[in-house]
Amino acid sequence: MKPQWQILVVDDEEIMCESLAAWLREDGYLVDTASSGREAVELARRTDYAIYFIDLKMPGGMDGIDTLMEIRRLHPDASIIIITAYATVDTAITAIKEGAQEYIVKPCNPEEISLLVSRIIKVKRLQRENLILRKKLQRRYQFHDIICKSPRMQQVLDLAREVASLRSTVLIHGESGTGKEVVARAIHFSGNRAQKPFIAVSCAALAETLLESELFGYEKGAFTGAAERKKGKFELADGGTIFLDEIGDIGPKLQADLLRVLQERSFYRVGGTEEVHVDARVIAATHKDLRAMVEEGRFREDLYYRLNVIEILIPPLRERREDIPLLAGHFVERIAHELGKPVAEISEDAMRLLMDHSWPGNVRELENAIERALVSCRGEVLASEDFAFLRGNGPARFQAPDNMTLAEMEKRMIEATLRRTGGNVKEAAASLGIDRSTLYEKLKRYGIER
């Protein structure tokens, strides 16, 4: 069934109006007619038509161009096709200047008109889908969709909310899987750039030269394979936000280029001589200690301060365990629905297991664990057995023993490893990740016998 797109045909000749309307109705459109510019504007006030066919020459003080201008004022996105019995270049130029999408001369070929209407409708359908997707994205990535109740996380969100409408650069710190990109998206979609693009780039995923062309684009012929000019992520994010994930992984050359973009708000495409100006808000994220990297000389201090205008620290999940039940419940609901499983809740035992786990992979690990458990779950309640993999393969929680020095700990570790290898030094050294000579030296120092 075709969607019911609405079209208005405006012509003072009734036969012209009605016959075009009848033709378009046969194509499945809902068509209204108006015999004057004034009547058309009245109808346009009440209905948002997808396409307007307007005759250029109409009596009564309001010709096609006047009608076109008034309708464009009411509906700036409307598609307007001007029709006339005779074409002159001047009127065509005026019509297009005033915002007509097309200009056709009657009588026109039926193929021409069918193609024209279907082409416009195709674009309108894409625009509508785009709008719906944008709204969905906006709804999905706003702050109220970030699930948490811990005071530390609430503070993070309060700060993020405050800075959403600023242009200042934001640096988000957090371990892998804590939701750095989720927070970055929430900042973007809650601020005044929400209607513009949010472009995410993982700096760790690409080699430095590739990342450079990815970020700044390139000119035709800049390198082998550069057949066309390509816009980079900064240009694509113009007016919106660029999210640079794993910023601690970029090399010295890109650090310098990035500093320039942050200072000058402009850059050159790879192989280009023309300066490109952009207005993109930068949100960077890392799981690394950038301050330590600055002290070690591995990250530019000036770039660090440019990025670190607003700093947001996302706590790891193990430091906000009160969020685990909420998050787990949310994931069960969402993933069970996606998998078509009737699972509704998590048993008390299973929840205890989730609360005790250290979650080194943070929220992402929790989400994956819930999905894995749901896949194998046969009942309607997730039981602790469904999370057995967390006990077996998960990294053991490390408990530091009281009153023990590092040297004592090392000695005990070496003794335990040698016991396991049956006194085989080569095997023990490999297992401990040190050279055989280093192990011999330590055996001697601690007086360990094989």
Largest CA distance in the chain: 111
Q: How many residues in the chain?
A: 450
Contact 386, 350 (CB under 8 A): yes
Looking at the Cβ atoms of 13 and 380, the one nearer to another protein is: 13
Conformational region of residue 348, where left means phi above 0, alpha means psi within -120 to 50, and beta covers everything else = alpha
Contact 21, 33 (CB under 8 A): yes
Looking at the Cβ atoms of 8 and 285, the one nearer to another protein is: 8
CB of 81 to another protein, least distance (A): 11
Among 74, 93, 108, 375, binds another protein (CB under 8 A): 108
Query: Of 29, 177, 184, which is closest to residue 114 (Cα–Cα)?
Result: 29
- 346: three-class secondary structure by DSSP: strand
Query: What CA–CA distance (Å, rounded) separates 51 from 122?
Result: 12
- 139: three-class secondary structure by DSSP: helix
Dig out the tokens for 118 from the structure: 């279907």
CB of 67 to another protein, least distance (A): 17
CB of 29 to another protein, least distance (A): 8
Query: Of 32, 31, 87, 80, which is closest to residue 57 (Cα–Cα)?
Result: 87
Among 6, 12, 18, 383, binds another protein (CB under 8 A): 18
Question: Residue 315 gets which letter from DSSP?
Answer: P
Among 113, 276, 283, 390, binds another protein (CB under 8 A): 113
Q: Does 22 bind another protein (CB under 8 A)?
A: yes
- 207: three-class secondary structure by DSSP: coil
CB of 155 to another protein, least distance (A): 55
Give the count of beta carbons closer than 10 Å to the beta carbon of residue 412: 14
Query: What CA–CA distance (Å, rounded) separates 302 from 329?
Result: 43
Dig out the tokens for 86 from the structure: 């005779």
Q: Does 19 bind another protein (CB under 8 A)?
A: yes
Among 59, 61, 110, 392, binds another protein (CB under 8 A): 110
Q: Which stretch binds another protein (CB under 8 A): 44-52, 103-111, 145-153, 327-335?
A: 103-111
CB of 205 to another protein, least distance (A): 41
Looking at the Cβ atoms of 27 and 345, the one nearer to another protein is: 27
Q: What are the Cα distances from residue 309, in Å, to 10, 97, 304?
A: 57, 45, 9
Q: Does 370 bind another protein (CB under 8 A)?
A: no
Q: Does 176 bind another protein (CB under 8 A)?
A: no
Looking at the Cβ atoms of 14 and 162, the one nearer to another protein is: 14
Q: Cβ neighbours of residue 124 under 8 Å, at least 6 residues apart?
A: 5, 50, 79
Phi and psi, residue 333, nearest 5°: -60, -50
Q: Does 3 bind another protein (CB under 8 A)?
A: no
CB of 48 to another protein, least distance (A): 21
Q: Does 15 bind another protein (CB under 8 A)?
A: yes
Q: Does 124 bind another protein (CB under 8 A)?
A: no
Looking at the Cβ atoms of 116 and 307, the one nearer to another protein is: 116
Q: Which residues of 25-61 are buried (b: 16+ CB within 10 A; e: fewer)?
A: eeeebbbbbbbbbbbbbebbeeeebbbbbbbbebeee
Q: How many residues of this chain interact with another protein, rule: CB under 8 A?
A: 22
Q: Does 23 bind another protein (CB under 8 A)?
A: yes
Q: Does 194 bind another protein (CB under 8 A)?
A: no
Q: Which stretch binds another protein (CB under 8 A): 106-114, 121-129, 231-239, 295-303?
A: 106-114
Q: Does 60 bind another protein (CB under 8 A)?
A: no
CB of 15 to another protein, least distance (A): 6
What single letter denotes the amino acid at residue 3?
A: P
Looking at the Cβ atoms of 121 and 363, the one nearer to another protein is: 121
**Which x/- pattern, by CB under 8 A, does the window 82-101 give for another protein?**
-x------------------
CB of 126 to another protein, least distance (A): 17
Contact 140, 328 (CB under 8 A): no
Q: Does 312 bind another protein (CB under 8 A)?
A: no
Q: Which stretch binds another protein (CB under 8 A): 25-33, 181-189, 294-302, 351-359?
A: 25-33
CB of 26 to another protein, least distance (A): 6
Among 42, 48, 73, 107, binds another protein (CB under 8 A): 107
Give burial (CB, 10 Å; 0-12/13-18/19+) of 201: buried
Among 28, 239, 379, 423, binds another protein (CB under 8 A): 28
Query: What CA–CA distance (Å, rounded) separates 131 from 123?
Result: 12
Residues at the contact surface with another protein, assessed by CB under 8 A: 2, 13, 15-16, 18-20, 22-23, 25-28, 83, 106-111, 113-114
